[in-house]
Amino acid sequence: MLPFFLKLFTSGKPPPGDEELLRLYRQTGQLEHLGELYQRHSEMVYLVCLKYLKDEEESKDATM
Number of residues assigned to the chain? 64
* Residues 13-58 pLDDT 10s: 888 999 999 999 999 999 999 999 999 999 999 999 999 999 999 9
pLDDT score for 13 = 82
Tell me the CA distances in angstroms from 62 to 10, 28, 30, 36, one per residue in order.
33, 27, 23, 18
> What's the pLDDT band for 8 if we cut at 50, 70, 90?
low
Angle at 18 between CA 31 and CA 41, to 5 degrees: 80
